[in-house]
Amino acid sequence: MHGIDFQFILRSLLLLVLLMLPKLNAAEIKPTKTYGGIIYITRSFSLDGAKPKKESPLIVVQSSKDYEKFLKRIPVKQISRTRPAPPNTDPLLKKPKIDFSQHTLIAVTRPSMTSPVIGSIKTNEKKVAVDVNFPRELPAAHPINIGTYTAILIPKTVGKFLIRN
């Protein structure tokens, strides 16, 4: 007799529920402010043939010390052919006050002139998932060690920050 295999259906449903549990508990975090611009990106290369350590494009700033360190990576002058180059108009160069007891600054860098797009931020008890879209790069020349960044200010969040494409 060709009957319905209830054990198979039960197992499938149980597996589906288990896979969906982390997503059901995840709460989405709304950004309070967004920034973007150009940033210095260190390009590491090895002279002895060893693979260089790849730097994560995700930067999480949760203290004033980390904030100052991040701000030093933003060029003071624009990338320009004109001499002297005009000042960079990045709003973060004005060093807006951020209360890190209440906020977290998340930045995503990219070694190209096409900025990353931060989609959503979801958190559960231990992890903070940052969904990022890296749009297709347009063929363009850009200076060595310069890239772009997108940063968002969110309410204070703790946990392990992970980037998802």
Band of pLDDT at residue 19, cut at 50, 70 and 90: low
pLDDT reported for residue 70 = 94
| Cβ contact 63:105 at 8 Å | no
The domain containing residue 86 runs over which residues? Answer: 27-164
Q: How far apart are CA 10 and CA 14, in angstroms?
A: 6
Number of Cβ within a 10 Å radius of residue 128 = 21
Of 5 and 30, the one with more pLDDT:
30
Would 1 be classed as within a structural domain?
no
Q: Give me the DSSP letters along 71-128.
A: HTTS-SB---SSSSPPBP--GGGG-----TTTEEEEEEEESSSSPPEEEEEEE-SSEE
Residue percentage of the chain with pLDDT more than 70: 80
In a domain, 40, yes or no: yes
Residues facing 65 on adjacent strands: none
- Decide if 63 is inside a domain: yes
Torsion angle defined by CA atoms of residues 13, 19, 22 and 26, in that order, rounded to the nearest 10 degrees: -80
Q: Is 23 exposed, middle or buried (0-12, 13-18, 19+ CB in 10 A)?
A: exposed
The answer to the question of residue 16 being in a domain is: no
**The two three-digit tokens of residue 105, written as one number:** 């600054």
- Domain-located, residue 72: yes
Say if 37 falls within a structural domain. yes
**Higher-pLDDT residue of 108, 1:** 108
- SS3 category, 144: coil
Q: In what order do the strands lie in the sheet with 127-133?
A: 27-29, 117-123, 127-133, 160-164
| Alpha-carbon distances of 20 from 23, 26, 151, 163, rounded to whole Å | 5, 10, 29, 19
Q: Would you say residue 21 lies in a domain?
A: no
Structural domain tally of the chain? 1
- Summarised one tens digit per residue, pLDDT across range 82-130 is 889 899 999 999 999 999 999 999 999 988 888 899 988 888 878 888 8
The answer as to whether 143 is a domain residue is yes
